[in-house]
Structure 1
Amino acid sequence: MAKVTRDETLANVASIVEATALPVSADLENGFSDSPETAAETVLLAAKTGLCGGSIEDATGHPEDPIYPFDLAVRRVRAAVKAARSLPIPFMLTARAENFLKGRPDMDDTIRRLVAFAEAGADVLFAPGIRTAEEISAVVKAVAPRPVNVIMGLAGSQLTLKDLGALGVRRVSLGSSLARAAYGAFLHAAEEVQQKGTFTFADDAVPYSTFNSILGK
């Protein structure tokens, strides 16, 4: 986490906002600071780029102590929500509970955090890393009627969009999965050339004309 600085992140999202008429939301990490005040400041700066939403997570970025204590985590979300509500435009604040991504698959603590984040005013609740229908259903029911986001594209998950809708999920994100799929194809192709001296990867490659047509739009 935080391999990219806040300034770099905001510059990147500003370029995305400028390139599309669609609403844009961004991963704001942990607000790029431990303090609730800086998390709030990050939301205000994010909104200035034209973003209409962003997420604040409870991961510290420190491997030896990866998750913020419960009370601090809630105060950080509450501060971010207050900042979002102070804006002259709607800003959708997503609160993330990171236990499952950080090697702490504690469902009880995850739900406790998400419920507290909802009570603090978060618009969307998100526990990246939960995978099963039972886990997802438990989160949806715990924070209802607040909407729940689920990340897909993780290895091993067999749930479909239809399945997720039936469970009550309101938003689905893909995280880095599309980028990893693209880079994975690139790496497999490069390995084939290097190790075998063959080029069969091209048989499954998307035609150049297709990309020209897409980019031309």
Structure 2
Amino acid sequence: MTAFAALHRPGEPLLLPCAWDHASAHALAARGFRAVGTTSLGVAAASGLPDGAAATRDETLRLALTLGSGPFLLTVDAESGFADDPDDVGEFARQLAAVGAVGINLEDALGPAGRHAAKIAAVRSAAPDLFVNARTDTYWSGDGDPGETVRRLEAYREAGADGVFVPGLTDPARIASLAAHFDVPLNVLHSPTGPTLPHLADLGVARVSLGSLLYRRALGAALETVTDIAAGRPPSGTSPAYEEVAALSGGQVR
């Protein structure tokens, strides 16, 4: 079992914050998070590209190259693998592993389950040590059919997935059912209106991802700050000092 896989413990879930650049990832690591993910929305938005459209392959690999040698375990959100061809997805996974990533998140986008399973198998073959988190979007963008969810995840597990991910699922009973059904870690996306982290632990969840939440909160805080200043109010909230941010990249204070 790899060090990253060992962090996935049902009842004591890995809380996975997701970064979008060097500074955000290193700031999270400095707060004690042993593992950091990337957010495809954050990477895409920061680059002026669409999310979920296979448009950020190069940007994602470039970020992995920047972060892969950091003092944390890195898992990468690779959308649907940025390709339909399983061999191309496998090659991308090999490149991620080569720069130091320890995990990859692959979403099915409700495409054919067989094709997604083939991608997972290709990743398993090309990068055997990479933790493959297989995501189904049955709740995220589908109708949340429990039977379809299980069918897809079983196919992905059989193809070699190390964990299964169901973003958009917030119903406690269904979460507990899935956690008990599979012999691999269940990952859910944290929802501000869904079960709390302790509740998810009680349900048997092994990994709780924050997805794009931190990026969206950071953008929201920036807008709130400039609005306060424009209105003559002191900005609320806290901000890292210039020196702290400069130190994240080894920069010099000017």
TM range, normalised to the smaller chain? 0.7 to 0.9
- 198, 218, 225: which one aligns with 1:162: 198
Number of residue pairs matched by the alignment: 199
Question: Cα distance, 1:4 vs. partner?
Answer: 4.2
One-letter amino acid matched to 2:197: L
Question: Cα distance, 1:73 vs. partner?
Answer: 2.3
Specify whether residues 214 and 110 from structure 1 end up closer, same or farther in structure 2 by C-alpha distance, changes over 3 A only. Answer: farther
Q: Is the 8 A contact 1:115 1:142 kept in 2?
A: no
Aligned to 1:30: 80
Q: Is the 8 A contact 2:113 2:155 kept in 1?
A: no
One-letter amino acid matched to 1:150: V
- 113, 121, 124: which one aligns with 2:163: 124
One-letter amino acid matched to 1:100: Y
Aligned to 1:74: 117
Aligned to 1:199: 233
> Could you report, residue by residue, the CA deviation over 1:77-127 in whole angstroms, capped at 9, with x for unpaired residues?
222222232xxxx22111111122224322221121112111211111111
Q: Is the 8 A contact 1:192 1:198 kept in 2?
A: yes
Q: Is the 8 A contact 1:189 1:199 kept in 2?
A: no
Say yes or no: does 1:106 pair with 2:157: no
TM-score, with structure 2 as normaliser: 0.70
Specify whether residues 14 and 134 from structure 1 end up closer, same or farther in structure 2 by C-alpha distance, changes over 3 A only. Answer: same
Aligned to 1:47: 97
Specify whether residues 71 and 15 from structure 1 end up closer, same or farther in structure 2 by C-alpha distance, changes over 3 A only. Answer: same
SS at match of 1:26: strand
Aligned to 2:208: 172
Alignment of 1:75-90 (within 5 A): 75-85=118-128, 90=129
Distance 1:174 1:4 in 2: 22
Specify whether residues 115 and 49 from structure 1 end up closer, same or farther in structure 2 by C-alpha distance, changes over 3 A only. Answer: same
Specify whether residues 23 and 216 from structure 1 end up closer, same or farther in structure 2 by C-alpha distance, changes over 3 A only. Answer: closer
TM-score, with structure 1 as normaliser: 0.81
Specify whether residues 10 and 106 from structure 1 end up closer, same or farther in structure 2 by C-alpha distance, changes over 3 A only. Answer: same
Q: Is the 8 A contact 1:43 1:84 kept in 2?
A: yes
One-letter amino acid matched to 1:171: R
Say yes or no: does 1:95 pair with 2:129: no
Say yes or no: does 1:146 pair with 2:180: no
State which structure, 1 or 2, has the greater radius of gyration over its C-alpha atoms: 1
One-letter amino acid matched to 2:171: T
> Could you report, residue by residue, the CA deviation over 1:27-59 in whole angstroms, capped at 9, with x for unpaired residues?
111110112221212111111111111111111
Specify whether residues 135 and 214 from structure 1 end up closer, same or farther in structure 2 by C-alpha distance, changes over 3 A only. Answer: farther
Q: Name structure 1 gaps, 5 residues minimum.
A: 60-66
SS at match of 1:24: strand
One-letter amino acid matched to 1:81: R
One-letter amino acid matched to 2:56: T
Q: Name structure 2 gaps, 5 residues minimum.
A: 1-51
Distance 1:41 1:183 in 2: 33
One-letter amino acid matched to 2:155: A
Specify whether residues 139 and 49 from structure 1 end up closer, same or farther in structure 2 by C-alpha distance, changes over 3 A only. Answer: same
